[in-house]
């Protein structure tokens, strides 16, 4: 996290389940440093968007990719987020 540079990344692909902190906690920390970076969450499980909005009100949960994902779909979502 300490190596994250603002205004360097256009899009982050973040897994929700990670060791030490979850993807939402990581993104809250990143958004303090760079409010303009786009974030796309990934997970093998379905998420409860309503519940997550209550816990993490500062996060936009617009991009969510359910794993496993095909390369074609992943590229489509990345292009869509960057347009």
Coil, strand or helix at 43: strand
Domain containing residue 25: CATH number? 3.40.50.2300
- Give residue 20's pLDDT: 92
Per the prediction, the chain carries an average pLDDT of: 87
For residue 1, pLDDT beyond 70: no
Does any domain span residue 60? yes
Does any domain span residue 28? yes
Q: State pLDDT tens for residues 7-23.
A: 999 999 999 899 999 88
Does any domain span residue 5? no
- Give residue 62's pLDDT: 74
Q: 16, 23 in Cβ contact below 8 A?
A: yes
The answer for residues whose C-beta is within 8 angstroms of residue 81's C-beta and 6 or more apart is 11, 38, 40, 63
- Which has the higher per-residue pLDDT, 62 or 43? 43
Does any domain span residue 36? yes
Does any domain span residue 1? no
Does any domain span residue 71? yes
Does any domain span residue 44? yes
Distance CA 45, CA 57 (A): 21
pTM value is 0.80
């Amino acid at each position: 996290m300490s190596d994250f540079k603002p205004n360097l990344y256009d899009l982050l692909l973040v897994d929700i389940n990670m060791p030490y902190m979850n993807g939402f906690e990581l993104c809250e920390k990143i958004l303090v440093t760079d409010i303009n970076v786009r974030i796309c969450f990934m997970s093998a499980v379905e998420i409860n968007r309503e519940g997550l909005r209550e816990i993490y009100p500062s996060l936009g949960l617009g991009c969510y990719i359910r794993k496993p994902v095909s390369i074609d779909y992943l590229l489509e979502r990345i292009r869509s987020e960057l347009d």
